[in-house]
Amino acid sequence: MRTIRLLLEKEFRQIFRNKALLPMIFAMPLIQLIILPLAADYEVKNISISVVDHDHSSYSQKLISSITSSGYFKLIGYTSSYSEAIHLVEIDKADLVLEVPAGFEKNLVRENEQKLFIAINAINGVKAGLGGAYLNKIIANFNTDIQLQLIQPSRYNPVPVIDVVPTNWYNPFMNYKFFIVPGILAILVTMIGGYMCALNIVKEKEVGTIEQINVTPIKKIHFILGKLIPFWIIGIFVFTIGLVVVARLIYGIVPMGNIVLLYSFLSVYLVALLGFGLLISTYSETQQQAISVAFFFVMIFILMSGLFTSIDSMPDWAKVIAQLNPVTYFIEVMRMIVLKGSGFKDIKWHFVIVAIFAFVLNGWAILNYKKTT
């Protein structure tokens, strides 16, 4: 224990002596956690729409008002011809074009039907799909309101109607930040632990102190623990600040589940992650090599972890990679405990899988570290 204590004292002195490293460890993750959820939002708003109204009737005006007052659309063009409206799409000022034909109100009242033309800029497939769906829903609601107005009360014959009342569990107000903040916090802890730990042994190699350590009677496992424990403590500290200060005070996210269970999983996950960083460090000879390798894997971890896109929608080969990604399990557990209040029985297999990652990666790092005497 005395050997490990001396190694930890040395590591913490090196960390806090580096004035450029401290903001990267403590300040940058918190700033990113404050800013990123405000931008990483899949709820599409301010969709630019151009309207071509050939009817200029009260119904067409009510329809346009319904669209613009929904909060999702921004009217940027009220043109007299389709060519003018589509030109706004071509110069990337409009996302959708709605064309109201002449006789819209007359045909709707007399013949009980009318067609509208919608052109959608599909360069951004997500925005196009959601924008088209929003617009179709608004038009359908407008059509329902018109039908109710045109029905004569004396001729109205009530028919059975199915009334659907939805209940939103775990995120009642469907606030996207409640979904994304736990995931981003998991990613930031991953980046801090992965990058910093990957550079640790490499720095000793570059400055030449690794040779001095190699000729000491320190065991390999003591050396690895001395490199791992400081960043394990820092990872828990950064996570605590993000969860308590940023998530709770700024976004109002209060964990629904057992906080001890969350920290227990975090502790095992950090051991696995730091073992991965140490493994990279044992294979790399320079910090540039370590950063390049860590960046390669961290990008895969982020994009194939289910942070932004559902794993269920991925192809089969991508699902296999996601299952081999430790970040996937941490993000799932974060959302399960923080939002759903899940217990140990719900995440026990996540515990087992991450523990296997921790054992394999750290064992590999210890075996790969070549200590000479």
Tens digits of pLDDT across the chain (373 residues): 777 787 788 778 877 777 777 777 778 888 888 888 887 766 778 889 999 999 888 888 999 999 988 888 999 988 888 999 999 988 888 899 999 998 888 888 777 778 899 999 888 777 888 888 899 999 888 888 877 776 655 555 555 666 777 888 888 888 888 888 999 999 999 988 888 888 877 877 777 776 666 666 777 777 778 888 888 998 999 999 999 989 999 998 999 999 999 999 999 999 999 989 888 988 888 888 888 888 899 888 888 888 888 888 889 999 999 999 999 999 999 999 999 999 999 999 999 999 999 999 988 888 887 655 4
Name the pTM for this structure.
0.80
Please tell me the number of Cα atoms within 13 Å of 182 on its side-chain side: 26
d(CA 80, CA 96): 15
3-state DSSP assignment of residue 77? strand
Q: Domain map of the chain by residue range?
A: 2-40+171-368, 47-155
DSSP 170-239: SSTT--HHHHHHHHHHHHHHHHHHHHHHHTHHHHHHHHTHHHHHHTSS--HHHHHHHHHHHHHHHHHHHH
DSSP 180-193: HHHHHHHHHHHHHH
Bridge partners of residue 75, in order along the sequence: 49
E strand spans, 54-177: 73-79, 96-100, 117-120
pLDDT at 356: 95
Please provide the distance, in angstroms rounded to a whole number, between the alpha carbons at the two ends of the chain: 22
Which CATH code is given to the segment(s) 47-155?
Answer: 3.40.1710.10
The pLDDT score that the predictor gives to residue 154 is 52
